[in-house]
A and B are shown apart, each in its own frame.
Chain A
């Protein structure tokens, strides 16, 4: 794999940790938890009009007639468009992915000839109120001729029907690669373990749905767009690229956001339409997605089949891994990513994990179906890949007669740096240690004893493990390491005020992760001030710092790097003036705890506030040729791909009568390098793991055979709640990165990436007495009950002789 050339924006200052590592309380919480946040729905612009969409009630149909006149005549309506009206301004959003075998699609802003999934927008109405807009939507006069719906990935791959005429063979993506002697390894294998794993279709279901407000001012030609997007700068770029609004006149504003999880890291037709509508009606226009729309038209996630096989030698060592992933992509590539995000990521990023497999082969395919497009969701692709790999590891442990800990220890990579068969280089990690730590946290012998005792009473508990390696800090280097060419960087601005307090702006919008707190910690340590003396503004507007998006566990690493570089510039200014005032050499001046002091002479010190005041108001304090600007904007990107790692162990109990899964306990080990703030890291683990529990047991976006979506409210789509969330025991290991500021690594996705495998493994462990192994999500009560009453057919684990 290629690595990037080292650039100056990849170096960060070396700083001693003071507030980094501390359980600093989140500065966002008093505001957000007392209802003082301002979310997009809270924003009211004078004169605003409201937007509603007519969405397809059927999965696949040809529009034979559409007449908007009754809609346009309805009370309170200002404008109504169908696909043809929108197409005059924009033909649609192209979705593609720069990997071998990707066939692009263009998603129209409003369907024109054919509708391809339930929920696809067909017409848009602008009216005085949302009520009036929805009343008018009901008056749309249109006819359609239903076409056969393609709703199953295997059928789509076999060419049964055509889901989207732009992809005549249904394939949105197809490719593969092989590294090392995979065929030989499988021929000579002592034993092969294999299985087909299915991760069902789910929604990220953020607490706050999507929303867009657009306001166009014709006199200055300026466009302001409020969106709760995770990628405001990218959206701004797209508004120019697709719609021609001059970029210098476009501002994208991101208010408080109630969760994104990747669903808001796309560019959607609604975000393109609202600016056009605002310009047309010359009034601000507002659209707040309702839950039904969110479940139908917000990006769906996860649905794919992963076939994975290990060749094992006589000692139980993995000699090769083969992975085939087939993604059910929905009707279009979801821009700006694509159907590739699931199957491609799964096979390229995850098959070796922490195991020292010398050879690997993969194929990936994504097919179009008449369902909502699949997009990003926390740990996209990583979840399904890790799920297949870790569940197969448990099956391999059973097949080789080893404990699940022992099998992993037997196969774990022994030393770093390690280059996997694809050429991906892992610089450091605590892969082996995490196995040992988790085993002692769980107290495995005690668990086995308790399990046996309970079984004798007719109670069934199970323990499931899942280990992960998470690519973190999505970067140019990380992208190249995985064979892509994406270029990323972020900027941050740090300004020191005359009283020695700091103001920081970053290029990332926040969705609730506590970025303002962690970034204040990074800035405080670099500047040597107290964390309470730093205020951080996340990207509330594109008129501030630049950012490539709050995606790919990049916030802590990338924004942290930019903040620390910008703070480093200001730091040098302070040191220069402090040295002058203290009559010491600059190199001897240290900034810690609000003071500038001379190394070895702690009494010779001056407060940073005094230095800042002097810089602003006392020119005699300045050294020669001093430029008094106490503000710096710096960019950052990592020099190398970096990976965090860790594991979860889950204890569950199954009720044989109801088939319900009770979650008893989660043990987590996390190594994200230097921990900036344990509270925030633990919050990310808890939230991610509970989402993983949801995606394994409670959640499924279900379709019927005609492509009708059956789960359009939270009555039918079950998200996990506190009462199913188990207690956690969390252990931190810190293996710092040599390439990031303070050694931090990203960890925002690992909970969801790894939890589902732990759940399935725990369930299968509990099912051992019944001789059943499950491989498909969700683990519905019905499936579990059937497994426990001997009604499941695929009973025997698939262990095949070569």
Chain B
């Protein structure tokens, strides 16, 4: 389990980093390395050059901007977990961060790395899809923003171009209620199913909601039927139970050695129910 040969560069600016990516189609960005290095070690990936972002300025901040919290791509999971700003403005991130791997890995793995990796079992992709985050990308040609709905396009696949760099993610802070649910066999394991749910509530009626599922599915997915059911309903146990049934019927889960699709279908239903119950309780 040793990587094939590769070159390593640690550019000092975004332009320089983009230059490396532009000049070599087999170059790859290195952030925390917690997903990329295992792929290299198992020889499932063999990039020609790793472009390490650790010395690129401007990627390490967590900022309070209008109606959103903007998180730099190089911010570690651990920093998100412990950020007071995050806990206050977008608490679903604090809830989810604790489920990512173990403290050692959270100390190295990064918000941007996980988002770019688009792992269907990733906590960040699931949460970012639910909250409707915006990804800020930089390419040689310039900047562009991509909404989460258009960003996670398949298993381990995003709509980023190979020569683009994810610089920040803006997480809307405008939702009233949040819930994150994960079923993992042991603390630190990838979940068998993840559910993230957010809602706006007025006079005890849900006016807007987004619900996403991760891990149990081939790529992070919105549960649109569940969202439709929620909008206009009261955030109560009855709604939660109906939402669970709709989730169970509409989700298209995967099967693997850790659980069949039938098992995961029911699990997603249970988590959706727990999430909606928590939406009700949260304020």
Contact = CB atoms under 8 A, between A and B. Distances in A.
Interface in B1-39: 1-5
Contact of A660 (B3, B43, B185, B257): B185
Contacts of A715: 190
13 contacts: A130-B2, A138-B4, A292-B1, A292-B42, A657-B267, A657-B270, A659-B263, A710-B257, A713-B42, A718-B185, A723-B186, A781-B192, A781-B263
A415 to B, nearest CB: 45
A698 B186 contact: yes
B4 A135 contact: yes
B267 A718 contact: no
Contacts of A657: 266-267, 270
Interface of A: 130-131, 134-135, 138, 290-292, 657-660, 698, 700, 702, 710-711, 713, 715-716, 718, 720-721, 723-724, 780-782, 785-786, 789
B185 A702 contact: no
A711 B4 CA distance: 23
Contacts of B2: 130-131, 134
B188 interface: yes
Interface in B235-258: 257-258
Contacts of A700: 257
A311 to B, nearest CB: 39
A715 B184 CA distance: 12
Contacts of A720: 186
B187 interface: yes
B202 interface: no
A782 B257 contact: no
Given A700-B257, A723-B188, A785-B266, 11 more contacts: A134-B1, A658-B183, A658-B270, A660-B183, A698-B186, A710-B257, A718-B186, A721-B187, A780-B259, A781-B192, A785-B267
B259 A782 contact: yes
A721 B188 contact: yes
A721 B185 CA distance: 11
Contacts of B257: 700, 702, 710-711, 716
B260 interface: yes
B189 interface: yes
Given A658-B267, A785-B263, A131 B5 contact: yes
B186 A721 contact: yes
Contacts of B186: 698, 718, 720-721, 723-724
Contacts of A710: 257
Contacts of B267: 657-658, 785
B189 A718 contact: yes
A782 B187 contact: no
A721 B104 CA distance: 15
Interface string B53-72: 00000000000000000000
A786 B262 CA distance: 10
Contacts of A658: 183, 192, 267, 270
Contacts of B259: 780-782
A663 to B, nearest CB: 11
Contacts of A291: 1
B248 to A, nearest CB: 12
Interface string B154-193: 0000000000000000000000000000010111111010
A127 to B, nearest CB: 11
A389 to B, nearest CB: 28
A131 B3 contact: yes
A660 B263 CA distance: 12
Nearest to B42: A292
A710 B257 CA distance: 8
A398 to B, nearest CB: 28
A664 to B, nearest CB: 16
A780 B183 CA distance: 13
A28 to B, nearest CB: 25
B5 A782 contact: no
Nearest to B187: A723
Nearest to A710: B257
Interface in B120-161: none
B235 to A, nearest CB: 20
